Amino acid sequence: MEKVDWADYATTYDLMARNNPAYQELVRHCVATVCGWQLQPGDVVADIGGGTGNFSIAVALALPSVMVLHVDCDEAMLRSARAKADQAGLGNWNVVDMDVEQDAWGLPTLAGIVTVHALYAFKNPQRVIKKMCAHLRPGGLVYACDLGRVMNVVDWGVYLVAASIRSNGLWETARLFVRYAEVRRQNQRICACQRAGVYWTHRLAEFTDCFRAQGLTPLTATSSFYRGYDDLVIGLKPMVTETVRPLAAGARFVQGA
Protein backbone atom coordinates (compact mmCIF):
# COMPACT_ATOMS: atom_id res chain seq x y z
CA MET A 1 0.00 0.00 0.00
CA GLU A 2 1.45 3.32 -1.11
CA LYS A 3 1.25 6.25 1.27
CA VAL A 4 -0.32 9.53 0.24
CA ASP A 5 2.23 12.00 -1.11
CA TRP A 6 0.88 15.30 0.17
CA ALA A 7 3.49 17.29 -1.76
CA ASP A 8 2.33 15.82 -5.07
CA TYR A 9 -1.31 16.24 -3.99
CA ALA A 10 -0.72 19.94 -3.35
CA THR A 11 0.24 20.55 -6.98
CA THR A 12 -3.27 19.87 -8.29
CA TYR A 13 -5.43 20.00 -5.16
CA ASP A 14 -6.61 23.57 -5.75
CA LEU A 15 -7.58 22.80 -9.34
CA MET A 16 -9.92 20.12 -8.03
CA ALA A 17 -11.18 22.37 -5.21
CA ARG A 18 -12.10 25.20 -7.60
CA ASN A 19 -14.18 22.84 -9.72
CA ASN A 20 -15.83 20.92 -6.89
CA PRO A 21 -19.22 22.43 -5.91
CA ALA A 22 -19.36 20.39 -2.70
CA TYR A 23 -15.98 21.77 -1.63
CA GLN A 24 -16.96 25.34 -2.46
CA GLU A 25 -20.17 24.92 -0.46
CA LEU A 26 -18.09 23.82 2.51
CA VAL A 27 -15.79 26.85 2.22
CA ARG A 28 -18.78 29.20 2.14
CA HIS A 29 -20.41 27.52 5.11
CA CYS A 30 -17.20 27.61 7.15
CA VAL A 31 -16.66 31.33 6.49
CA ALA A 32 -20.29 32.20 7.22
CA THR A 33 -20.12 30.24 10.46
CA VAL A 34 -16.92 31.87 11.71
CA CYS A 35 -18.25 35.31 10.75
CA GLY A 36 -21.16 34.63 13.11
CA TRP A 37 -18.92 33.93 16.11
CA GLN A 38 -18.85 37.58 17.29
CA LEU A 39 -15.08 37.68 17.38
CA GLN A 40 -13.39 40.85 18.62
CA PRO A 41 -10.57 42.79 16.93
CA GLY A 42 -7.26 41.14 17.76
CA ASP A 43 -8.77 37.72 18.46
CA VAL A 44 -6.81 34.77 17.08
CA VAL A 45 -8.30 31.94 15.03
CA ALA A 46 -6.23 28.95 13.92
CA ASP A 47 -6.76 26.61 10.98
CA ILE A 48 -5.30 23.27 12.08
CA GLY A 49 -3.96 21.26 9.16
CA GLY A 50 -4.65 24.19 6.86
CA GLY A 51 -3.21 22.60 3.71
CA THR A 52 -3.13 24.93 0.72
CA GLY A 53 -4.96 27.68 2.60
CA ASN A 54 -8.42 27.66 1.06
CA PHE A 55 -10.18 27.97 4.41
CA SER A 56 -7.70 30.07 6.40
CA ILE A 57 -7.35 32.63 3.61
CA ALA A 58 -11.12 32.86 3.08
CA VAL A 59 -11.63 33.47 6.82
CA ALA A 60 -8.85 36.08 6.91
CA LEU A 61 -10.38 37.93 3.96
CA ALA A 62 -13.82 37.92 5.59
CA LEU A 63 -12.53 39.03 9.03
CA PRO A 64 -9.71 41.58 8.52
CA SER A 65 -9.61 42.57 12.22
CA VAL A 66 -8.98 38.97 13.35
CA MET A 67 -5.57 37.28 13.18
CA VAL A 68 -5.70 33.94 11.37
CA LEU A 69 -2.96 31.36 11.92
CA HIS A 70 -2.44 28.77 9.20
CA VAL A 71 -1.01 25.69 10.92
CA ASP A 72 0.61 22.96 8.81
CA CYS A 73 4.03 21.39 8.26
CA ASP A 74 3.98 20.16 4.67
CA GLU A 75 6.33 22.35 2.62
CA ALA A 76 4.40 22.08 -0.64
CA MET A 77 1.09 22.89 1.04
CA LEU A 78 2.62 25.85 2.88
CA ARG A 79 4.26 27.15 -0.29
CA SER A 80 0.91 27.14 -2.08
CA ALA A 81 -0.85 28.80 0.87
CA ARG A 82 1.79 31.54 1.18
CA ALA A 83 1.58 32.32 -2.54
CA LYS A 84 -2.19 32.75 -2.36
CA ALA A 85 -2.02 34.84 0.81
CA ASP A 86 0.64 37.09 -0.76
CA GLN A 87 -1.50 37.53 -3.86
CA ALA A 88 -4.44 38.50 -1.66
CA GLY A 89 -2.30 41.02 0.22
CA LEU A 90 -3.33 39.71 3.61
CA GLY A 91 -1.93 41.42 6.70
CA ASN A 92 -3.88 39.34 9.22
CA TRP A 93 -2.72 35.89 8.14
CA ASN A 94 0.41 34.07 9.30
CA VAL A 95 1.88 30.62 8.80
CA VAL A 96 2.75 28.45 11.77
CA ASP A 97 5.03 25.74 10.41
CA MET A 98 4.31 23.09 13.03
CA ASP A 99 3.62 19.38 13.28
CA VAL A 100 0.45 19.30 15.39
CA GLU A 101 1.28 15.76 16.55
CA GLN A 102 4.31 16.99 18.47
CA ASP A 103 4.04 17.43 22.23
CA ALA A 104 4.40 21.21 22.51
CA TRP A 105 2.27 23.62 20.51
CA GLY A 106 3.69 27.10 20.05
CA LEU A 107 0.26 28.69 19.76
CA PRO A 108 -1.44 31.41 21.79
CA THR A 109 -4.81 30.97 23.44
CA LEU A 110 -7.32 30.79 20.61
CA ALA A 111 -10.74 32.39 20.23
CA GLY A 112 -11.66 29.95 17.47
CA ILE A 113 -10.38 26.90 15.64
CA VAL A 114 -11.11 25.63 12.15
CA THR A 115 -10.03 22.22 10.95
CA VAL A 116 -11.26 20.74 7.67
CA HIS A 117 -10.25 17.44 6.07
CA ALA A 118 -7.18 17.09 8.28
CA LEU A 119 -7.95 15.10 11.43
CA TYR A 120 -8.54 11.77 9.66
CA ALA A 121 -4.95 11.69 8.37
CA PHE A 122 -3.21 12.21 11.73
CA LYS A 123 -1.74 9.19 13.52
CA ASN A 124 -3.66 10.05 16.70
CA PRO A 125 -6.53 12.37 15.80
CA GLN A 126 -8.11 12.14 19.25
CA ARG A 127 -4.92 13.49 20.79
CA VAL A 128 -4.93 16.38 18.31
CA ILE A 129 -8.54 17.15 19.24
CA LYS A 130 -7.53 17.16 22.92
CA LYS A 131 -4.72 19.65 22.26
CA MET A 132 -6.99 21.82 20.13
CA CYS A 133 -9.54 22.06 22.90
CA ALA A 134 -6.84 22.77 25.48
CA HIS A 135 -5.68 25.81 23.45
CA LEU A 136 -9.21 27.15 23.08
CA ARG A 137 -10.23 29.86 25.52
CA PRO A 138 -13.47 29.56 27.52
CA GLY A 139 -16.24 30.77 25.24
CA GLY A 140 -14.19 29.81 22.17
CA LEU A 141 -15.61 27.83 19.27
CA VAL A 142 -14.49 25.02 17.01
CA TYR A 143 -15.51 24.30 13.41
CA ALA A 144 -14.38 20.72 12.79
CA CYS A 145 -15.23 19.00 9.52
CA ASP A 146 -13.59 15.68 8.73
CA LEU A 147 -13.70 12.96 6.11
CA GLY A 148 -15.49 10.18 7.97
CA ARG A 149 -16.44 7.72 5.24
CA VAL A 150 -14.22 5.74 2.89
CA MET A 151 -13.64 7.77 -0.24
CA ASN A 152 -15.27 6.25 -3.31
CA VAL A 153 -13.03 7.47 -6.10
CA VAL A 154 -15.40 6.37 -8.88
CA ASP A 155 -18.33 8.16 -7.23
CA TRP A 156 -16.31 11.36 -6.90
CA GLY A 157 -15.03 11.08 -10.45
CA VAL A 158 -18.53 10.85 -11.88
CA TYR A 159 -19.69 13.76 -9.71
CA LEU A 160 -16.78 16.03 -10.68
CA VAL A 161 -17.05 15.27 -14.39
CA ALA A 162 -20.80 15.97 -14.39
CA ALA A 163 -20.31 19.21 -12.43
CA SER A 164 -17.52 20.31 -14.77
CA ILE A 165 -19.54 19.63 -17.92
CA ARG A 166 -22.34 21.82 -16.54
CA SER A 167 -19.93 24.65 -15.69
CA ASN A 168 -17.12 24.36 -18.24
CA GLY A 169 -18.44 22.37 -21.17
CA LEU A 170 -17.29 19.06 -22.59
CA TRP A 171 -13.92 20.03 -24.09
CA GLU A 172 -12.69 21.96 -21.06
CA THR A 173 -13.79 19.05 -18.87
CA ALA A 174 -11.74 16.65 -21.00
CA ARG A 175 -8.69 18.88 -20.50
CA LEU A 176 -9.31 19.07 -16.75
CA PHE A 177 -9.75 15.31 -16.51
CA VAL A 178 -6.19 14.83 -17.76
CA ARG A 179 -4.89 17.33 -15.20
CA TYR A 180 -6.84 15.55 -12.43
CA ALA A 181 -4.60 12.47 -12.77
CA GLU A 182 -2.54 13.28 -9.69
CA VAL A 183 -5.66 14.01 -7.63
CA ARG A 184 -7.13 10.65 -8.64
CA ARG A 185 -3.88 8.87 -7.77
CA GLN A 186 -3.66 10.40 -4.31
CA ASN A 187 -7.37 9.91 -3.62
CA GLN A 188 -6.97 6.22 -4.44
CA ARG A 189 -4.18 6.07 -1.88
CA ILE A 190 -6.37 7.85 0.70
CA CYS A 191 -9.08 5.27 0.08
CA ALA A 192 -6.59 2.41 0.51
CA CYS A 193 -5.30 3.92 3.77
CA GLN A 194 -8.84 4.30 5.06
CA ARG A 195 -9.69 0.69 4.25
CA ALA A 196 -6.49 -0.49 5.93
CA GLY A 197 -7.23 1.47 9.09
CA VAL A 198 -4.23 3.77 8.60
CA TYR A 199 -6.55 6.77 8.27
CA TRP A 200 -9.40 7.36 10.70
CA THR A 201 -12.95 6.66 9.58
CA HIS A 202 -15.88 7.53 11.83
CA ARG A 203 -19.58 8.16 12.11
CA LEU A 204 -21.11 11.36 13.40
CA ALA A 205 -21.80 10.07 16.92
CA GLU A 206 -18.19 8.94 17.39
CA PHE A 207 -16.81 12.19 15.99
CA THR A 208 -19.09 14.29 18.19
CA ASP A 209 -18.18 12.29 21.29
CA CYS A 210 -14.50 13.11 20.76
CA PHE A 211 -15.30 16.79 21.36
CA ARG A 212 -17.72 16.12 24.19
CA ALA A 213 -14.96 14.15 25.94
CA GLN A 214 -12.85 17.34 25.97
CA GLY A 215 -15.60 19.39 27.59
CA LEU A 216 -16.99 21.03 24.46
CA THR A 217 -20.70 21.42 23.93
CA PRO A 218 -21.77 20.49 20.38
CA LEU A 219 -23.99 23.25 19.02
CA THR A 220 -24.31 21.70 15.58
CA ALA A 221 -23.58 18.17 14.41
CA THR A 222 -24.29 16.89 10.91
CA SER A 223 -23.12 14.37 8.35
CA SER A 224 -24.83 16.10 5.43
CA PHE A 225 -21.82 17.98 4.01
CA TYR A 226 -19.44 16.94 1.25
CA ARG A 227 -22.07 14.65 -0.23
CA GLY A 228 -22.40 12.71 3.01
CA TYR A 229 -18.71 11.83 3.28
CA ASP A 230 -17.99 14.32 6.09
CA ASP A 231 -18.88 14.70 9.73
CA LEU A 232 -19.15 18.30 10.94
CA VAL A 233 -19.19 19.46 14.55
CA ILE A 234 -19.42 23.08 15.67
CA GLY A 235 -18.63 23.13 19.38
CA LEU A 236 -18.39 25.64 22.21
CA LYS A 237 -15.98 25.58 25.14
CA PRO A 238 -18.30 26.79 27.90
CA MET A 239 -17.46 29.52 30.35
CA VAL A 240 -16.97 28.13 33.85
CA THR A 241 -20.26 29.54 35.10
CA GLU A 242 -22.16 29.21 31.84
CA THR A 243 -24.73 26.55 31.11
CA VAL A 244 -25.11 25.80 27.42
CA ARG A 245 -28.01 23.93 25.92
CA PRO A 246 -26.51 20.97 24.04
CA LEU A 247 -27.67 19.71 20.70
CA ALA A 248 -30.74 17.59 21.36
CA ALA A 249 -30.48 13.90 20.61
CA GLY A 250 -31.79 13.23 17.12
CA ALA A 251 -31.79 16.91 16.20
CA ARG A 252 -31.19 17.57 12.55
CA PHE A 253 -28.90 20.22 11.12
CA VAL A 254 -30.60 22.97 9.14
CA GLN A 255 -28.46 24.60 6.45
CA GLY A 256 -27.59 28.16 7.29
CA ALA A 257 -28.21 27.65 11.02
Report the domain count for the chain. 1
Percent of the chain with pLDDT over 70: 93
In-domain check, residue 68: yes
In-domain check, residue 185: no
CA pair distance 148, 137, nearest whole angstrom? 27
For residue 142, give the H/E element and its range.
strand 136-147
In-domain check, residue 31: yes
Pairing of β 217-222 and β 230-236: antiparallel
In-domain check, residue 7: no
In-domain check, residue 171: no
Q: Walk across the sheet containing 217-222 and list its strands.
A: 93-97, 67-72, 44-48, 110-116, 136-147, 230-236, 217-222
**In contact, 33 and 234? CB cutoff 8 Å:** yes
Closest CA to 230 of 18, 22, 12, 17: 22
Q: How far is CA 31 from CA 27, 63, 140, 246, in A?
A: 6, 9, 16, 23
What residues make up the domain containing 110?
13-150+200-236
What confidence tens digit (pLDDT) does each residue in 41-62 have?
A: 999 999 999 999 999 999 999 9
In-domain check, residue 245: no
In-domain check, residue 256: no
Q: Which residues contact 247 (CB under 8 A, 6 or more apart)?
A: 218, 219, 220, 221
pLDDT tens-place values along the chain, 257 residues long: 667 877 777 878 888 888 899 999 999 999 999 999 999 999 999 999 999 999 999 999 999 999 999 999 999 999 999 999 999 999 999 999 999 998 888 899 999 999 999 999 999 999 999 999 999 999 999 999 999 999 999 999 899 889 889 988 988 888 877 777 888 888 899 999 999 999 999 999 999 999 999 999 999 999 999 999 999 999 999 987 544 555 554 444 444 33
Query: For residue 95, what is the domain's CATH number?
Result: 3.40.50.150
**What interhelical angle do 6-18 and 181-195 show, nearest 10?**
110
In-domain check, residue 163: no
